[in-house]
Amino acid sequence: MKKQKYIKILAATVIMTSTLGVISVGSSSVSAQQVAMDEKSEVVHIPDSILRKNIKAKLGIVEDSEITKARLATITYMETTYAGIQNLSGLEYLTNLREIWLDGNQISDISPLGNLPKLQTLKLPGNKISDVSGLTNLPNLQKLELSENQIQDISSLAKANLLNLTALSLNSNQIKDVSPLGKLTKLTELGLYGNQITDVSPLKNLTRLTGLNIGGNQVQNITPLADMKGLTSLFLSENQINDVSPLTSLTELYGLDLSGNQISDVSPLARLSKLIFLNLASNQITDVSPLSDRTFNQLDVSKNWLSEIPTNWNSHQIAENFIDGKENQYNAAFSSETINLKIGETKTLPVNWKYNNQEEKVPTHLPEKPILTVDNENVTASGTQTVLQLQANKVGTSVVTYEPVPGLKKTVTVTVTE
């Protein structure tokens, strides 16, 4: 009897132990699930009141409701522009975010956005960003907009996981060194307007580019662009370029902006047969005959040194040149075209400038000095863009030719007597 009782007690103990074991395992499983649930329901503090308000509006929750990780994970698109946001803390929990627009805020720290694996489009123009090192792991990012910030150093972009980036805008920053961009070989669109760039050679391997803007810099040599044969639009305005021959290989170009440079020879552009949008304003061009048989959808040759243009260009922007018989043109004249002098006498003739046949100040885009020629030694001529100075040397008649720009010739006949 005692033995049977002992066996029953032992069996009961085993059953209880086994049952407790199952319960223990079951409790552990429930605990893991509970942890996961607790994590999703964990409240996220958004310190920036403007951002917090916009997120709640996006989530459709009332003001006194809590923002949780689970709720943030439902956001795939967000746009809060020109709202005064300063602090992005909390956005690191937008784990399913694909596109975000934060233009025109007061953001300086972008590290909360630096590890969002599903993010495809990130727009942050017009903020106070100087440090981009926080963008460490954005493997699906395709478009990154950082224009109009305070960025000088972009070295961290070479180390970041930005393998699928195709469009990058860094316009209007303070960037000098673009070498970190050389590794972003999937780029098809790149904006670098308004920086402090002098050397574009680090970009030479970006052969997938179809659009490039490096206007508003200090670039002189554009030879490194010669291998970017896929370019269809190229903006090189407001640089220090005088030689455009490296562009002859870019035969897919249909849009080209070369305004505000020091270009005088446009003959290399004649090879760009697909070019239909061309801006050559504010250069030093005197001859456009190499392009005279071309038809453009948009053409701007204003503010050059042209004294004539092809007749088929009359409907385009040609203002502020020196073309006789056209509207909105400069012209120079002397009060008299015949002068009588005695040997040894000197005469100063003011140059009378007109624009649209109205009295005008001296144009600001003239060559430093006019071209002066005299057909013999009877007279010596010198001058500036405002005056012509004559000195009589020998008896006889001389013709003095004054060219304020090449091709715009004004003559004065000088008769010298004893």
**Cβ 228 vs Cβ 250: under 8 Å:** yes
For the chain, give every domain's residue range: 42-156, 175-328, 330-417
Encoding tokens for residue 350?
């003011």
Instruction: Quote the distance between the C-alpha of residue 62 and its chain's center.
Output: 42
How does pLDDT run across 193-208, given as a tens digit for each residue?
A: 999 999 999 999 999 9
Strand, coil or helix: what is 359?
strand
- Residues contacting 45, CB < 8 A, separation 6+: 89, 90
Cβ neighbors of 148 (< 8 A, separation 6 or more) are 125, 126, 127, 171, 172, 173
Model confidence, pTM: 0.86
Is 135:114 a contact under the CB 8 Å cutoff? yes
Q: How far is CA 266 from the centre of its chain?
A: 23
Query: How do residues 49-70 score in pLDDT, each as one tens digit?
Result: 999 999 999 999 988 889 999 9
Q: By three-state DSSP, how is residue 182 classified?
A: helix
User: Per residue of the chain (418 residues), what is the pLDDT tens digit?
Assistant: 444 443 333 333 332 333 323 323 334 444 545 444 445 579 999 999 999 999 999 999 988 889 999 999 999 999 999 999 999 999 999 999 999 999 999 999 999 999 999 999 999 999 999 999 999 999 999 999 999 999 999 999 999 999 899 999 999 999 999 999 999 999 999 999 999 999 999 999 999 999 999 999 999 999 999 999 999 999 999 999 999 999 999 999 999 999 999 999 999 999 999 999 999 999 999 999 999 999 999 999 999 999 999 999 999 999 999 998 899 999 999 999 999 999 999 999 999 999 998 998 899 999 999 999 999 999 999 999 999 999 999 999 999 999 999 989 999 999 999 9
pLDDT for residue 135: 95
Residue 262 CA to residue 265 CA, distance in Å, equals 10
User: Other C-beta atoms within 10 Å of 138: how many?
Assistant: 23
Q: What is the DSSP letter of 66?
A: P
Assigned CATH topology for domain 42-156: 3.80.10
pLDDT of residue 40: 59
Tell me which CATH homologous superfamily contains domain 175-328: Ribonuclease Inhibitor (3.80.10.10)
SS3 state at 12: helix
Q: What pLDDT is attached to residue 39?
A: 54
CATH 2.60.40.1080 fits 330-417, yes or no: yes
Q: How far apart are CA 57 and CA 61, in angstroms?
A: 6
Q: For position 380, what pLDDT does the model report? A: 97
The domains spanning 42-156 and 330-417 adopt the same CATH topology:
no
